Amino acid sequence: DAGVIQSPRHEVTEMGQEVTLRCKPISGHNSLFWYRQTMMRGLELLIYFNNNVPIDDSGMPEDRFSAKMPNASFSTLKIQPSEPRDSAVYFCASSLTGGGRETQYFGPGTRLLVL
Amino acid sequence: AQSVTQLDSQVPVFEEAPVELRCNYSSSVSVYLFWYVQYPNQGLQLLLKYLSGSTLDKGINGFEAEFNKSQTSFHLRKPSVHISDTAEYFCAVSEVQGAQKLVFGQGTRLTINP
């Protein structure tokens, strides 16, 4: 299996621009998670989906952030407009929930820099 | 709600020495416990997990962790470290029932010196 795939790996943009991060989960997994990692706040969950349905988006910082999962093999995290404080590494993870198989597998991350 | 505390932000150790990375958690419900490792500029990789059963769980790369329910701890240990173990280590919990999201500790940076 190719593992969780994220694109782009690096993104540099200017304040005010729209940023779209993409994730392809492991085939057969039914849960998908978006995390953000910063020096100040560490790793924090932004949103997670189960069977393509958003279950908990309480970690989404504000309305500038939105996430979608149109099908089982693709998800996007969009920031519009972006701000310098959004600079972070964004990780996508997937898992097969139920029956003690709750291990989350992480992608390599997207390193975002907003100037 | 759950919380995870990793008691040491940095741990320097000499090569071939033993190491223990400490993790304590707080939760009002039953939880699963995990250790993840993050090598420089990479994603997180599962090191080991505790779902149920034995209190001593063995993971990859010679690491093991001991679950202590009474002390709500899940410390990570390795009897002899290598230079290649230099990385950041994260302890995490998730609820057994209900939400599957991981709550992470702040991480411990393990540095192995020759």
What pLDDT is recorded for position B99?
64
Report the residue of B38, B39, B44, B103 to disrupt the A interface, i.e. the one with the largest count of A CBs within 10 Å.
B44
Contacts with A, B 8-47, CB within 8 Å: 32, 34, 36, 42-46
Give the amino acid at B93. Answer: V
Mean pLDDT of A20-32: 95
Among candidates A33, A91, A103 on the partner chain, residue whose Cβ is nearest the Cβ of B101: A33
Q: In a 3-state reduction of DSSP, which class is residue B85?
A: helix
- pLDDT at A100 (0 to 100): 55
Query: Would you state the pLDDT for residue B47?
Result: 93
How many other C-beta atoms lie within 10 A of the C-beta of residue B14? Answer: 10
B104/A43 Cβ within 8 A: yes
Which helix or strand (DSSP H or E) is residue B62 part of? none
For residue A73, name the pLDDT band (cuts at 50, 70, 90).
very high
Q: How far apart are CA A41 and CA B106, in angstroms?
A: 8
Residues present in chain B in total: 114
Q: In whole angstroms, give the CA distance from residue B69 to residue A30.
A: 30
Residue A39: is it exposed, middle or buried by C-beta count within 10 angstroms (0-12/13-18/19+)? exposed
Spell out the SS3 assignment of chain A.
CCCCEEECCEEEECCCCCEEEEEECCCCCCEEEEEEEECCCEEEEEEEEECCEEEECCCCCCCCEEEEEEECCEEEEEECCCCHHHCEEEEEEEECCCCCCCCCEECCCEEEEEC
Binned at pLDDT 50, 70 and 90, residue A99 comes out as: low
A52, exposed or middle or buried, with CB in 10 Å at 0-12, 13-18, 19+?
middle
- Closest-CA residue in chain A for B90? A43
> How many whole angstroms separate alpha carbon B47 and alpha carbon B34?
8
- Nearest beta carbon to residue B100 from set A35, A102, A107: A102
Question: How high does pLDDT run on average in chain A?
Answer: 92
At B75-101, the pLDDT tens digits run: 999 999 999 999 999 999 988 776 678
pLDDT of residue A109: 95
- Residue B57: pLDDT over 90: no
